[in-house]
Amino acid sequence: MNAPLRRSFAEARQVEAGARFEPLNDGQVAVSYANATDEQATARRLGLADLSPLGRIGFKGAGTCDWLASKGLTIPEAPNRAAVQSDGRLALRLADQEIFLTAALSGTGEAPAELEAAWNRARKAQRGFPLPRQDTHAWFLVTGEQADSLFAKLCGVDLRPAHFADLEIAQTSIARMSGVICRQDLGGTLAYHLLADSASAHYLWGCLLDGMQEFHGGPVGLHAVQALAKA
Amino acid sequence: MASTQLDTPVPGLARTSAEAPGAQARGGVNRLTAPAGLLIDHNKPVSFTFEGKAYRALEGDTIASALAANGVWLLSRSFKYHRPRGVLTMAGQDANTLVQLRDEPNVLADRTPVTDGLEVWGQNYTGSLAKDRDRVLDYFGRFMPVGFYYRAFMKPRFDQAYEPLIRKKAGLGKVNLNAPHGYYDKAYLFYDLVVVGGGPAGLQAAVTAAEAGAQVLLVEENPELGGALSYARFDAEGALGLRRRQELIAAAEAQPNLTIMTDALCNGWFADHYLPVIKGNRLYKVRTKQMIVASGSIEQPAQFRGNDLPGVMLGSAAQRLIRLYGVRPGQRAAVLAGNDHAYGVALDLQDAGVEVACIIELRDDPGPGPMAAAARDRGFTITTGHCVQEAVAATGKPHLGSIRVSRITGPGTFDHGSERVDCDLLAMSVGYTPTYQLALQAGGRLSYDDEAAHFEIERLPDGMALAGSVNSAYDLEAVEAEGRRAGWQAAQALGLDAGTEPAVPAERGAQGINHPWPLFKHSRGKDFVDFDEDLQVKDIVNAVAEGYNELELVKRFSTVGMGPSQGRHSALATARLVAKETGRTVAETGVTTARPPFAAETLGVLGGRVFEPERLTAMHHRHLEQGAVMMTAGLWWRPAFYGPKEKREDLIAKEVHAVRHKVGLIDVSTLGGLEIRGPDAAEFMNRLYTFSYKKQPVGRARYLLMTNEQGVVIDDGVACRLSEEHYYVTATTGGVDRVYRQMLLWNAQWRLQVDVASVTAAYAGVNLAGPRSRKVLEHLGSDIDFSAEAFPYMGVRTGHVGGIPARLLRVGFVGELGYEIHVPSGYGEALWDALLEAGKSERIKPFGVEAQRVLRLEKGHIIIGQDTDAMTTPDEVDMAWAVSKKKPFFVGQRSIELRRRHPSARRLVGFTLPKSSIVPLESNILLDGEGEMAGFITSAARSEACDAVIGLAYAPAETQAGDSLTIKLTNGRRLEAKACAPHFFDPDNQRQEL
């Protein structure tokens, strides 16, 4: 097999942690670190997964929401809310006319490239502008019952489940970095997507793992996340 | 009164642990038998050392309680007079117990737990703690009067002669500069209600609010809940406190929405109830909607000569030793009573096996209180209307041996005749101050009830309430009722249904709790008001006499209240003294301003876990693998050069050589990237940058120069026109954030149809530069035609390189044929690998920032921020060519035109020195003929291509090529350089346009 063309921004950290990788798109994704049972237990307690190899894209500007709705997407009713699409993709509404669209955790659903191609074919007016979110932002997922306690050490927003609803978004500072946090519980397990500067992914991964130590959390692979979602 | 002189040496002091068989095994000679001691575990002994000597303690002991159990009462030496000091409060509130650990000075011995193997020393002494040679200073007090520092340091000769000596003697403890770094961090918490203080009032408040449904955090400074219920005596039998403690704690622990945090200190109040709570090495930043302060009260010492001797302590300190740590605080005690609590102390002492020699009652009649009645029933000797005029040390020992008791003749005065009472413990119970700090920080005001001789707190901010003795409630029933009502009020304020309002008894127990004047000034002094700063009654009196009649001035002149305990035990006495000396009431005198923090906090706690974001390019790990020495550029890490540090100059020269003669590859991912899109993109660019962009062809790049509204150069880069409505713009690594903000600001004002997107992190970039760069790309394979005709200089192309989608720019920052290749950052590493592989046959070499600096300097290309400063105009740096004269507007245009009417006195010129010359540093200055500064150097390097040392410098505007420039080096040496045009290498740009 040829070496993957794409690298996740925190891949070196995952290699150090003994991740097992599988090809995904034109790169590879960390699918596991330990046996499935242990890793799923970690994911339910406090897990950190790198979903950066999965697809994502953004659109912003006048007409964005209408155009995406015309493509069959469910647009969240208000900024700082997210909507799960029928195919598992997640549409995060970051502003009145700004959407951050992530791939489904299963890897299924329309690929971002197809949506961008559709944008290119569309009429110029009233469609907004695509944003290269695949490369501007790393995509991490923090899972487990202690996830809000971890964020309490890194972020000044009250993310406790009773105060931060499922599919709610906070655009805030995390470990002195700008980032987007979106809660999306997986099969009843508390989980938060974290989207932040890709160039700082290495740093942020380290901060998150450091903060997890007291809760006995650790890295988990895509398979553990997918298992949570199916639970 | 009968003398009760002892006929033997003070027991307990003379007897060492070695003389008491089995004493060590049970944790010291003064240790009470199990189950005495709420906080200790009699079955878990630990060992530690103090002053190099080993002692046994029990798990749960503090350093001070463990030493007391072992009969060691001398803990420290006082700040100024080096007087022996010991336990005063046992509450972690005074400076007497500051000790030195291996890695930390000024640790409170009565708060810090003993751990196995802990090494503890006293501090602030010369020689040994017991025989401190500096104790001689105690005899020179008359030469160190109040305000001594202010007077002494006003005289210059004194500064020179004695300042070094005083500096050496000043300060407490020693900082271990080699102490290991601890792990500290911070966390945010959010609650409906925070209750500070886990005593009876706080527990009741927290439980009441939690029962109503509030999310409550209860913060308790001590390791166990209970407050005074844990150590004080509330009834004659002595069982009520502990029983109520157990009941209240059980009720609190049964509340699912009540979080209990013990060993946690709420160390301040900030606006909107933002509370710093320190627990261990973590600082919690707590947001709460409501706050109840149930912080209790601080027992106050009496003032008499020798009131600081070890063995003289607060009544509550003796009770804490007995009930919390199972330590007998002495063998033979006297109790100084100014309130009924003193009788509880006496009862506790006797129950602990301490002989109570007498109770010296300041009042003429203690009244019919149940505790006093119980004391009478036990047959204690109660001497009313008397005071302690002096505490006297046992012969040859730094500890109380006896007291001299005199009849009171008026407020603060006494008969000179006295009776001696031998005792090794004097417990004082004469009054309290509310623990008012948090309430006052929040804007509360302190008033003084002259009848009760007691401070009270008024005018609290919204959302804050007081409960318990901080609110002048001392009767236990009233304290608990106040707590319930405060919790109910907080729940109501939160919109919760908390039922009917709890009643609070009218009798709150404040009357008689404070003796109005427990100050007995002695003609020979040493009647301490402030133990931290060694301030006596006469010092406060003299400060007022000097004219400092406001409390804030007295504080600054005398330093009262400025020590580690921050006036906890001196504020009331000082206010009373100042009031008396100025003929005002205590209420009019008040106390000094309360500011955070409440207690000392470490820098580690304030710093927390240090978050230092850093940015890595997609090729970062390749650079490390290839031996790069990395350097920072803003938050980014960039390769400075490749290879060992010690070969720096040689390696940089080789990298420069490779670019000039073969091909080099540099990571330029850190360059800022911005997408400007929309129908008005060209108009937007035209307004924002100095050059013209409306007619820029698609597929072409154009230089960018940005000025601010003052006409100052603030950034540069390249604009790539990818379509009629799309520019891809690069900006400097350090400037892109500012540029992006400027773009958003102007776009909001101009309301053009433009979208601005920051895509710096989205693209990895390399500059493939050198005469063989085209060949490398051809080796790699691409859908782009790289011929000079098809892809000329300043051309822009999109396509694929080695199968990777890419944007390519033909630009010439280093002055060679070159291509900037920008790819989605996820592909950055693959691109880097592919180019190095494809370039092997062309002898490709990665190069770093240092080589790039030399290469660009040879071309005379400026670096914004290095070759420009906060005043630089385009004209000064020979950039007038980049400023359009035809545009109606661009940011900075008007200022540039105005400044051209008053031409600058300086401009950036090139200079050369012989190749063998030393390379001057950036910022070395130029001198004119008079030896005055005439300019400064911004860049300099040794250039192989130019066979000279070359550089850029701001020089007088009239400087011509060939003029001599005098450079003053950092060491003062001077060099003579020749001015020249700032284009040293290939001035006709033939190489980059190949």
| 8 Å CB contact of B826 and A7 | yes
Task: Report CB contact under 8 Å: B759, A132.
Answer: yes
Which of B467, B480, B497 lies closest to B247 in space, CA to CA?
B480
* Candidates B611, B675, B762; nearest CB to A207: B611
Q: What is the mean pLDDT of residues A208-225?
A: 97
- pLDDT tens string B710-728: 999 999 999 999 999 999 9
Q: How many CB pairs under 8 A join A and B?
A: 107
Least confident of B16-30, B516-530, B775-789: B16-30
pLDDT at B26: 66
- Among B655, B675, B676, B654, which Cα is nearest to B664's? B655
Q: Is B123 on the interface with A (CB under 8 A)?
A: no
For helices B341-351 and B370-377, the axis angle rounded to 10 degrees is 40
The alpha-carbon gap from A61 to the nearest alpha carbon of chain B, in Å, equals: 7
Give the mean pLDDT of B326-349. 98
Write down the pLDDT at residue A4.
63
**Mean pLDDT along residues B185-207:** 98
| pLDDT tens column, A38-68 | 999 999 999 999 999 999 999 999 999 999 9
Buried b (16+ CB within 10 A) or exposed e, A21-34: beebbebbbbbbbb
DSSP state of A73: P
Task: List C-alpha distances in Å: B901 to B98, B895, B897.
Answer: 69, 10, 7
Which pairing describes strands B464-466 and B282-293: parallel, antiparallel, or unpaired?
A: parallel
Q: What is the pLDDT of residues B78-124, one digit of tens each?
A: 988 999 999 999 999 899 999 999 999 999 999 999 999 999 999 98
B615: contact with A, CB 8 A cutoff: yes
Report the pLDDT value the prediction gives residue A13, as an integer from 0 to 100.
94
- Is a pLDDT exceeding 80 seen at residue B198? yes
Mean pLDDT of B157-162: 63
Q: Are B362 and B408 in contact (CB under 8 A)?
A: yes
Region at B17 (left for phi over 0; alpha for psi -120 to 50; beta for the rest): alpha
| Rounded Cα distance, B225 and B517, in Å | 33
Q: Which segments within B617-762 are labelled E, that is strand?
A: 628-633, 636-642, 664-667, 672-677, 701-707, 713-723, 726-731, 755-758
Strands across the sheet with B355-361, in order? B312-314, B425-429, B332-337, B355-361, B382-384
Tell me whether strands B974-980 and B454-458 are parallel, antiparallel or unpaired.
Answer: unpaired
- CB neighbour class for B391 (10 Å; exposed up to 12, middle 13-18, buried from 19): buried
Chain B closest-CA separation from residue A230 CA (Å): 29
Amino acid identity of A47? G
How far B541 CA lies from chain A's nearest CA (Å)? Answer: 50
B230-255 pLDDT, tens digit per residue, is: 999 999 999 999 999 999 999 999 99
Chain A residues touching B186 at Cβ < 8 A = 153
Distance CA B220, CA B224 (A): 8
Give the range among A156-160, B131-135, B341-345, B928-932 with minimum mean pLDDT. Answer: B131-135
Instruction: Please report, for residues B709, B715, B756, B887, the alpha-carbon distance to residue B690 in angstroms, rounded to integers and kept in the order given.
Output: 12, 11, 18, 9
pLDDT band at B13 (very low <50, low <70, confident <90, very high): very low
Sorting pLDDT into bands at 50, 70 and 90, what band is B477?
Answer: very high
Residue B10 predicted with pLDDT over 50 = no
DSSP string computed for B765-805: EEEEESTTHHHHHHHH-BSS--STTTS-TTBEEEEEETTEE
Peptide bond into B597 cis (omega under 30): yes
Q: Whose CA is closest to B120, among B66, B183, B168, B69?
A: B66
Range name among B115-119, B168-172, B320-324 with the lowest pLDDT average: B168-172
Which pLDDT score, from 0 to 100, does residue B922 have? 93
The stretch B591-595 carries a mean pLDDT of 84
Residue in chain A lying closest to B189 (CA):
A152
In this prediction, what percent of chain B has a pLDDT beyond 90? 85
Q: What are B403's strand-pairing partners?
A: B391, B421
pLDDT at B156 (0 to 100): 59
Q: How many CB atoms lie within 10 A of CB B905?
A: 12
Angle at B659 between CA B653 and CA B661, to 5 degrees: 95
Q: Is the pLDDT of residue B6 over 50?
A: no
Backbone angles phi, psi at B165, to 5 degrees: -65, -45
* pLDDT-based confidence at residue B812 (cuts at 50, 70, 90): confident
**Interchain contact B837–A (C-beta under 8 A):** no
**Amino acid (one-letter) located at B478:** A
Tokens encoding A160: 């406790």
Is a pLDDT exceeding 90 seen at residue B400? Answer: yes
Please check whether residue B824 touches A, CB under 8 A: yes
pLDDT of residue A101 exceeding 70: yes
Mean pLDDT, all residues of chain B: 93
Residue B767 near residue B819 (C-beta atoms within 8 A): yes
Closest CA to B309 of B393, B404, B423, B430: B393
Residue A135 dihedral angles phi and psi, to the nearest 5°: -115, -20
Average pLDDT over residues A131-144: 97
- Give the pLDDT score at B20: 46
Contacts of B620 in chain A (CB under 8 A): 202
The pTM (predicted TM-score) of the whole model is 0.89
Instruction: For residue B413, name the pLDDT band (cuts at 50, 70, 90).
Output: very high
Q: Do B951 and B920 form a contact (C-beta atoms < 8 A)?
A: yes
Q: What is the pLDDT of residue B22?
A: 56
The answer, yes or no, to whether residue B14 has pLDDT greater than 70, is no
At residue B416, the pLDDT reads 86
Q: CB-based contact (8 Å) between A200 and chain B?
A: yes
The candidate with the shortest Cα–Cα distance to B198, out of B169, B218, B184, is B218
In one-letter notation, the amino acid at residue B939 is S
Q: State how far residue B686 is from chain A, nearest Cα, in angstroms.
A: 21
Q: What is the pLDDT of residue A1?
A: 41
Render pLDDT for B907-962 as a digit per residue (tens, 0 to 9). 999 999 999 999 999 999 999 999 999 999 999 999 999 999 999 999 999 999 99
Q: State yes or no: pLDDT of B8 exceeds 70.
A: no
Sheet containing strand B726-731, strands side by side: B701-707, B713-723, B726-731, B672-677, B755-758
pLDDT above 60 for B774: yes
Model pLDDT, residue B990: 86
Q: What is the dihedral of CA B3, B4, B9, B15, to 10 degrees?
A: -160
Tokens of B892: 């900075």
What pLDDT sits at residue B7? 32
Is B830 near chain A, with CB under 8 Å? yes
Q: Does B827 touch chain A (CB under 8 A)?
A: yes
B803, A5: Cβ pair inside 8 Å? yes
Tell me the residue type at B241: G
Nearest to B614 among A152, A157, A200 (CB): A200
Under the banding of pLDDT at 50, 70 and 90, the label for residue B666 is very high
- What ipTM does this complex have? 0.97
CB-CB neighbours of B964 under 10 Å? 10
**Hey, is the C-beta of A8 within 8 angstroms of any chain B C-beta?**
yes
* pLDDT score, position B181: 86
